[in-house]
Amino acid sequence: MLRIGDIIFSLDVLEKKFVCDLHDCHGNCCREGDSGAPLTDEEVGKLKEIWPVVRKYMRPEGIKAVEAQGTSVVDFENENVTPLISNAECAYTIIESGILRCSIEKVWTEGKISFQKPLSCHLFPVRMKQYSDFLAVNYQELPLCAGARRKGFKDGVYLYEFLKEPLIRALGGEAYAELCIAAEELRKRK
């Protein structure tokens, strides 16, 4: 483990290689799991705010799920998450060329909203959990990401490098810069 201030990183975040390969996994991270994407309280409010715009981009079954369940729901662990279509995939997914993608991000890419997508989705496969005196940052190694691990190894890209933008979004530029320095130092020691 690596501690930077009040953040504790699993070493996997620094040592594993990873680059998403949507042609391999088809965006199934939007479908896998036992509930929707984790949301912060702020993101719950954002989803309500952007719903009228995002709705226009969604699939009919996603719209129906949101209309029935709300723009966010509370799951079995009492956490705010995105609603699901038939207890399977995120209601905000769209399908483009056989790949599940995020309708929220599509609307953001077109400049129609300022919210890119839930941070938990942006950070995937890294998960963060706040404890009383520290923030834990862990890598979740899942079978559906086998292609991403192969691509990361082939391209020589570490997980923390691939996730630069969302890690900066979550932790700030200073913490990310310190993480990069720590990763370099760890590699020198091996």
What is the C-alpha separation between 102 and 121, in angstroms, rounded?
9
Amino acid at 172: G
For 2-61, write each residue's pLDDT tens digit: 888 899 999 999 999 999 998 888 888 888 777 889 999 999 999 999 999 999 999 999
Q: How is residue 12 written in tokens?
A: 């996997």
Percent of the chain with pLDDT over 70: 100
Q: How distant, in Å, are the alpha carbons of 2, 9, 183 from that of 189?
A: 14, 18, 10
pLDDT for 186: 86
Distance of CA 63 to the CA centre of its chain: 21
pLDDT for 2: 85
pTM for the whole thing?
Answer: 0.88
**SS3 of residue 17 by DSSP:** strand
Contacts by 160-166, CB closer than 8 A, 24 or more apart: 160/13, 160/14, 162/18, 162/19, 162/20, 163/123, 163/126, 165/122, 166/119, 166/122, 166/123, 166/126
**SS3 of residue 109 by DSSP:** helix
Q: Are 99 and 93 in contact (CB under 8 A)?
A: no
Q: Helices marked H in the chain — which ranges?
A: 12-15, 22-25, 41-54, 60-69, 103-109, 119-123, 146-155, 159-162, 164-171, 173-189
